[in-house]
Structure 1
Amino acid sequence: MTRPSQALIDLNALLSNYKKLRTFHGGKAFAVLKANAYGHGAVRCARKLEMDADAFAVAFLEEGLELREAGIQKPILLLEGVFDVKELRKAANHGFWVVVSRHEQLEMIEQCSSAMRGLNVWLKLETGMNRLGLDGSLACEYIARLCATKAVAKVSFMTHLACADVEGDDFSTKQIEKLMNATRGLDCELSFCNSAGVLSAKGPPSDWARLGIAMYGVNPVPGSSFSLEPVMELKSQIFDVKNVKAGEGVGYGCTVRVSRDSRVGIVALGYADGYPRNAMGCSVLVDGRLTKTLGVISMDMLAVDITDLENSGQGSQVELWGKHIRVAEVAQYARTIPYELLCNVKRVSFLSI
């Protein structure tokens, strides 16, 4: 028997979420596949979305090359841009769209102006996140420099909203205003709405949204009722059962001692597979019934309380997160974010459904 730990990837849910979000936004939308599609498998997700997505976005060159090597031909935006001239040439050869957020990247294009044509450049402007971005007051100068190279076919502008997923946020509006002011009078497409920006309806619709975490079924906006379908179900099985006497401990450090004679199911999945180590007492589903984890999560396994689940035992199915236990609930319980949990899943069998 192979280890029963699995991540089931619902590609129909992925496509449904993309279409629903794109329609709600009202403009075009990048399907963001960085970090191996937030842990879901970039190639499988790209193949499912390719007929419908306007374009894809990844973090850096190697992620884009993986998609090209898999036969994906849709436009792919490199969100971090390139790191040297060699990468720039390779990006141009593969038809990647490139973000320019640093002066060094602008100078690379000027340096290679005689060697390439047809670059699609997205100038990223700093509007308040203070992470990446060029000075918006010099937007016209940047366009002039890029157009003078003759290597660039199109220039668009983008920024990143820092607080769109924060309850009561008004900073996003200020960021959008800065982008609008910096590009006023320029005939360029704009992108400022990430998933949270789309779902919180910040500002007017941008020409391009960037759909990341929401496309995978996680709504990042507090209090939002916008319905999305979970794409990943993380599941395993109970492979052993322990009868634990009242007062005895469970797991490392015996941090939890049961208050009654208990049946404890041992599940083949642990923190090395991506389940958070500090999710002690977190809700799980065993054979479709709700219970909780017991004790500290181990590297390769975890314990669940099945005392009141009389028909459950060895071989019982366990949902760690998915359609019933949302990954955002697990993340909140473990004091982290769903992005981190999804990206950290490994050592399990990935199956597309």
Structure 2
Amino acid sequence: MTAYRPIQARIHLNALRNNLKVVKTFAPKSKVLAIIKSNGYGHGAERVARELAEADGYGVASIDEAIFLRQKGFLHPIVILEGLFSEAELDLAIQHRLEFAVHNWEQLNWLKTSHVTTPLTIWLKLDTGMHRLGFDERDMERVLTAIDRLPMSIHLNLMSHFASADTSDDFTQKQLSIFNRVAQTLNCPKSLANSAGVQRYPQSHFDWVRPGIMLYGACATDEMVPGLQPAMTLASEITSLKWIEAGETVGYGQTWRAERRSLVAVVAAGYGDGYPRCAPAGTPVLIHGQRLPMAGRVSMDMLTVDVTDMADHVALGDEVILWGQGLPVDVIAQACGTIGYELLCDVTQRVPRVEVKD
């Protein structure tokens, strides 16, 4: 018998499938490119791809993520959202029947000088104002001419990316206007909406939507979306209980001081598991359905919780939910000044992923 630390990330398979259905209710006329980069936002890329098999395609960040899915037997269209990082990747992309973004002149030149004659599907990236990747609107005529002159047949898709669809309506409308100006000159499939766009801007849905975080049941905007379910519950157990007197401190740096005689629970979870070290005292955990505040700093392998208010109802081995069902990851992210995306992706490999159907 092998023993493990009690922390685990429970992956709710039904939630993944449910959340895809929610996406389709928002954008019923669009195809869905399910974004499963960064190991499926920490949930496991193969697992997520399997549960999201009813998506029309998968979006990944790099060719190694795409090849991994091909080697696992997935036949869906797979789009490399950052495009090719080197000319040498082109042959691999063709070998594995991959689609990819083209967002700069160097990538276009790789195609121009290539020996390849195989038809390719490329996703032409337009910079509508995020100023991260993509061609400027003023260069699009020249770009399209260069694509027409490539030595291989090209199936073209037009794409761009929202910078702040979760918060800024004015800037998002500006991006939409730029995209529409270019899109109306092209007779090809188009894609713009990320999760926030799916939820807030139906006019951005076009032919393909590209949901990411909402597939995992976390928030893309400040608004909770009815029907979405958390796909990961990070849970552990109480491993120690200790009474301390008023005025005594807990943890590194003595940053938390008891204002009364207090019962402190030690939980087997820490930043070595991906729980954020920056989580301040007061960040909630869930024990027996009740939110209780963390006390003191997060350690590598442990964190401490003030459980005084339910001292008569806690015991060693009690489950502690760090986020997930009953405690949205976005609540923890807000306490830490970050976003749910980061917390989900940061769960380390030493934390076992346990599949559950519920």
In structure 2, the residue corresponding to 1:238 is in which secondary structure? strand
Kept after mapping to 1: 8 A contact 2:130/2:161: yes
Q: Secondary structure at the match of 2:94?
A: helix
Q: Which amino acid aligns with 2:152?
A: A
| Matched residue type, 1:95 | R
Cα 1:352–1:15 shift into 2, 3 Å: same
- For residue 137 of structure 1, report the CA deviation from its aligned partner: 3.1
Kindly provide the amino acid, as one letter, of the partner of residue 40 in structure 1: H
Separation in 1 of the partners of 2:188 and 2:138? 16
After TM superposition, the structure 1 = structure 2 runs for residues 131-280 of structure 1, keeping only pairs within 5 Å, are 131-166=132-167, 168-201=168-201, 203-223=203-223, 225-279=225-279, 280=281
SS at match of 2:210: strand
Instruction: Work out whether 1:58 is the aligned partner of 2:60.
Output: yes
Q: 2:323 aligns to what?
A: 321
- TM-score computed with the length of structure 2 as normaliser: 0.94
Say whether 1:49 aligns with 2:57.
no
Query: How far apart in 1 are the matches of 2:59 and 2:273?
Result: 26
Q: 1:17 aligns with which of 16, 19, 36?
A: 19
Looking at structure 2, the residues matched to 291 and 93 of structure 1 have their Cα atoms a distance apart, in angstroms, of 53
- CA distance in 2: counterparts of 1:152 and 1:343, whole angstroms: 37
- Which amino acid in structure 2 is aligned with residue 271 of structure 1? Y
Within-5 A mapping of 1:83-162: 83-112=85-114, 114-162=115-163
| 2:76 aligned counterpart, secondary structure | coil
Contact kept, 8 Å, 1:121 with 1:152, in 2: the verdict is no
Distance 2:139 2:127 in 1: 11
Shift of 1:150: 4.0
Task: Indicate whether 1:30 and 2:29 are aligned.
Answer: no
Q: CA deviation at 1:225?
A: 4.3
Structure 2 CA distance for aligned equivalents of residues 2 and 219 of structure 1:
31
For the aligned residue pairs, the C-alpha RMSD in angstroms reads 1.4
- Could you list the per-position Cα deviations for residues 147-201 of structure 1 after superposition, in whole angstroms to 9, with x for gaps in the alignment? 33242330010001111011x5221111111111113232111101000111112
For the residues of structure 2 that align with 1:325 and 1:223, how far apart are their CA atoms? 15
CA contact (8 A) 1:146 1:152 kept: no
- Which whole-Å CA distance do the structure 1 matches of 2:220 and 2:106 have between them? 33
Distance (Å, rounded) in 2 between the aligned partners of 1:224 and 1:2: 35
Instruction: Name the % identity.
Output: 42
Distance 1:169 1:125 in 2: 19
- Cα separation, 1, equivalents of 2:148 and 2:337: 47
Distance in 2 of aligned mates of 1:267 and 1:332: 21
Runs of 4+ in 1 over 3 A off after TM superposition: 223-227
Cα distance in 2 for residues equivalent to 1:94 and 1:164: 33
Counterpart CA distance in 1 for 2:220 and 2:185 is 33
Q: 1:201 to 1:224 in 2, by over 3 A?
A: farther
Distance of 1:181 and 1:267 partners within structure 2: 55
Cα deviation, residue 287, structure 1: 2.8
Give the AA of the match of 2:129.
G
Offset at 1:289? 2.5
How far apart are residue 244 of structure 1 and its match?
Answer: 1.0
CA contact (8 A) 1:270 1:299 kept: yes
Extract unaligned runs of 5+ from structure 1: none
Q: Which runs of 5+ in 2 are unaligned?
A: none
Cα distance per residue 1:303-340 (max 9 Å; x no partner): 01222221212101000001111100000011111111
1:199–1:224 Cα contact (<8 Å) kept: no
Q: Is the 8 A contact 1:199 1:226 kept in 2?
A: no
Is the partner of 1:67 in helix, strand or coil? helix
2:301 & 2:15 partners in 1: Cα distance? 29
